[in-house]
Amino acid sequence: MKTLLTGGSGFIGSNLTQRIHGTQHCDLKIVSRFQLQQCFKHPFEIIDSKKNEPKLNATFANSTHVVHLAARVHVMRDHSQDPLMEFRRVNTDGTLNLARQAAASGVRRFIYLSSIKVNGEATHYGCPFTPNDLAAPQDPYGISKHEAEVGLREIAHETGMEVVIIRPTLVYGAGAKGNFKSLMKLVARGLPLPLASIDNRRSLVGIDNLVDFIITCLEHPAAANETFLVSDGEDLSTPDLIRRMARAMNRPARLLPVPKSVLMAAAAMLGKRDIALRLCGSLQVDISKARALLGWNPPVSVDEGLRRAVK
């Protein structure tokens, strides 16, 4: 299997690269705008997708599989005049251009890392998203990812190249950034958090489980032209996540009981309503399709994933 990986210098890409080089998949080429800082036992080629388009085309000619991770991700302070246009330029148009090149070069399977934001931003308690739900993206990032999915399915139908779409939930692990890193810092400092009264459920996916699932989709014949949701298979409330994170750090979990309505009102006043919604609301996914069709089960438990994340 000759695999081309985009976004190899990112959080997910660097972990996937290390894992692939620990298996028989040693013929790996990485398309990246940045040089990887890690050293690996097996040689691989790094291609700058901004400067070496002829070389990129030549690389496709020798590739059987593509894993496309590169994307324009969440921008907390987006100063562009048209954020949706910027997300579309990279996540939609860039993805479809790459897929067309791949299909024309004879690539057999194209793995696309999408986002659970294609399904939506929240679920009702106990009513998880499924791969068959109607798409309901609510922000420019989610819209751009959904449009890329639609285009990829059309390319698969027209060319015969197999497409696999993966929608992960929030990804955590050593080196993760964003909200998970911020919460981990608060727990590490032992600060009291007013979240003891929150009764929600959220699905997360540890980086080791996500990487394992991507590799499964590279190899498994039944993954062809399917869409999967992926998580750790255990949903946590926000207080439970904090307690288990604290336990992994050997720190006390300091939680204060504050009504959800009070939290939401305070967050709105501070301009932090989106963060409060993630901490207080539910977002669950159903991974039964991955279990049944691929025989896949998350190999790493939540507690072990958190221990690895806080090292």
Q: What is the pLDDT of residue 179?
A: 83
**What's the angle, vertex CA 148, arms to CA 105 and CA 114, rounded to 5?**
100
**Cα separation, 136 vs 146, whole angstroms:** 9
pLDDT under 50 in the chain at which residues? 35-44
Q: What is the pTM of this model?
A: 0.89
- CATH hierarchy code of domain 3-176+205-232+285-299: 3.40.50.720
193-224 residues labelled b (16+ CB within 10 A) or e (exposed): bbbbebebbbbbbbbbbbbbbbbbbbebeebe
pLDDT number for residue 32:
65
Looking at residue 44, what is its pLDDT?
Answer: 47
Is position 112 annotated as part of the catalytic site? no
**Catalytic pick among 112, 125, 141, 172:** 141
Question: What was the pLDDT predicted at 10?
Answer: 86
Domain boundaries in the chain? 3-176+205-232+285-299
CA 204, 210, 216: angle at the middle one, nearest 5?
140
* pLDDT value for 78: 58
Per-residue HEC secondary structure of 42-109 comes to CCCEEECCCCCHHHHHHHHCCCCEEEECCCCCCCCCCCCCCHHHHHHHHHHHHHHHHHHHHHHCCCCE
User: Is the separation of the CB atoms in 125 and 86 below 8 Å?
Assistant: no
Beta carbons of 311 and 224 less than 8 angstroms apart: no
